[in-house]
Structure 1
């Protein structure tokens, strides 16, 4: 039998804050949205969530400490009737940590589904996941994109009832229309009675005696739909956007699920991203590096005029504030980092060769370390003065 403390990797005397921290760390690792639908990760996520739901509650924790798992499972962990399923685990995670796997721009599963205490229920439609590739330009400015996806919609032939010829669904004979079964279990501590989702009707409380031929009793068929996605500026590939109530319709009249749009930022051949800062390599000529110049630095939206100081070294960077990626919350913007690359001519002309021969005769030896500023190692100022003279004479 499971030891909830071992499941979360905490000591039996762990504080509520330690329990919460341990659960959050492990739940983020095994969250279904970060594991591409892995059944193993989903099962582990449910185990973690069940353990946390018990240990976070002082009364249930005390009962677990005294009687073990049997002392709490009959009471329905977390107040969920009918067992602890993946939807319960996801809702609980959202309740305490607000937003799925840590990168949601909106709630992962919208308003969520709380299973009612008794009574049949219409099952919510499954969440649909789609991937939306974005360019760096769209990340910087934000974008409105339209996507075509295939969804499960209400069956036109039976109007979503799942029954042929308008026949009404019949109450489930297993659960009597409640959607739940009462299961008695015996243990060394006595008999426990738990409620679980009816195995015959999947908790809907009804059964279809004459299923619709078009949807085979599901009440839904697949069709193509177009959705619009508003992407705010400043997103990363770790973010997702949830379109609540726009996913698959539930079986036989159940509410729609959600659409989760996973954002995928494409690599840009010009810029690399460091948080909200953008880094770009800017080639300059040797003469520009020696003498200084006014250069144009490419940005995502437009070019920026920058004064290149004389004597700049290859690899040094110039920071242009406020020209990077906007903050996702709209409260600022990163910087554009221009990394200078001094370009060396591969095939210098005879005039250039002569000029560099003159320069070689007057230059000082290269410093053993990078100069710290305009007046670096001894003799550097005199060297640069002579270089300028050579280029301007």
Structure 2
């Protein structure tokens, strides 16, 4: 089970951005690979802290996480169109990215304490990454409840088929970068509170590739990418909600001059149902009853996600009474059970009656059974308030 991001950094939900940064810096220094050489447990905690910081330091990601938890950003474990190992995920560092990505993105937070990753990063060239793509998918309530598979036609940048995405005319159309001498990074010595330390940064000349193209591919003009489209099959798990974002690893834009693809980010939108209203994992139906059925009881049909169901209305049913169809609501996206359908009784009072109906009602006005009486049951407002608060 993935740990709570606030727990990982040892902070409260009310922590400020400055608190979050300080907490991450403390954890990153504690578990940094230079300080814990060969310690796999420390390396995993280092990655875990970076994942937590990536989400909590971004206002939009943090808001989604606070609302949906790890389900906010479903990550593909396989790198394909399916959703494998659960939900949540380090946006931008899933699907095969290395420790180097963490140093490139957050290395400045460590200050001068370490040399940018030491043995973990030495002599590794930077891996280019394509940009992410975002699409919206509109789902019916049935698709939300049962899950769905959608085929999406995506306009995107693909790796050039002439040069294989390298951008070079052929394998001999390169020369070693004269700035970094093929390393992909440059090293400099900085003064820190602990003395001098080496830091590494991406080579500004070759952008981390380590080589320069001498003759460009004629089809892509040296970029390594061409415009195209792809049909992506996306499996959407049951229980997703409005505003939730899923990520399909590797289905975004191809990277310039080779590398790995970005991700396809799928934003969920829900179509309103004509009879059922969603409230969390529960579904609410407003049942209109005539006075006779409310007084004498009746058998009525109510809508469900997949059809209709018959329920019994007891004699003397009061307006606002809530009847529960257990397990007929929306499944929790994390697998924690299924919500209910809540049928709220609403007694219809006619505004126009015939003379004969008016005479019948006048007779009922003097009947003891039709005079309001004190009851131990909570009133309508209290019943509805307790439901929504709970």
TM-score for the superposition, normalised by structure 2 = 0.70
**Which residue number corresponds to residue 118 of structure 2?**
none
Contact 1:172 1:201 in 2 (8 A): yes
**Which residue number corresponds to residue 74 of structure 2?**
105
Aligned residue among 5, 20, 27 for 1:56: 27
Q: Please list, as runs of the form range in 1=range in 2, the aligned pairs for 1:1-393 lying within 5 A after superposition.
A: 20-22=9-11, 48=20, 51-56=22-27, 92-93=50-51, 101=65, 102=70, 103-106=72-75, 107=89, 108-109=91-92, 110-114=94-98, 115=100, 116-164=121-169, 168-186=173-191, 190-237=195-242, 239-330=244-335, 332-363=337-368, 365-367=371-373, 372=377
Taking structure 1 as reference, are residues 22 and 165 closer, same or farther at Cα in structure 2, changes over 3 Å only?
same
Give the number of the structure whose alpha-carbon radius of gyration is greater: 1
> How much does 1:343 deviate?
1.0
Q: Deviations over 1:251-297 (max 9, x none)?
A: 22212232222222233342222221111101010100011111111
Q: Deviations over 1:150-200 (max 9, x none)?
A: 221111343322124765222211111111011233467654321111111
Q: Secondary structure at the match of 2:293?
A: helix
Structure 1 vs Structure 2 CA RMSD: 3.6
Report the Cα distance in structure 1 between the residues aligned to 2:280 and 2:365, rounded to whole angstroms: 43
Taking structure 1 as reference, are residues 166 and 25 closer, same or farther at Cα in structure 2, changes over 3 Å only?
farther
Contact 1:151 1:224 in 2 (8 A): yes
Q: Deviations over 1:10-47 (max 9, x none)?
A: xxxxxxx9781328776xx98xxxxxxxxxxxxx8xx9
Contact 2:8 2:49 in 1 (8 A): no
Contact 2:10 2:23 in 1 (8 A): no
Report the Cα distance in structure 1 between the residues aligned to 2:47 and 2:30, rounded to whole angstroms: 20
Query: Gaps (5+ residues) in structure 1?
Result: 1-16, 31-43, 62-74, 80-87, 374-393
Q: How many residues were matched structurally? A: 317
Contact 2:9 2:52 in 1 (8 A): no
Report the Cα distance in structure 1 between the residues aligned to 2:156 and 2:49, rounded to whole angstroms: 23
Q: Secondary structure at the match of 2:266?
A: strand
Contact 1:126 1:249 in 2 (8 A): yes
TM-score for the superposition, normalised by structure 1 = 0.69
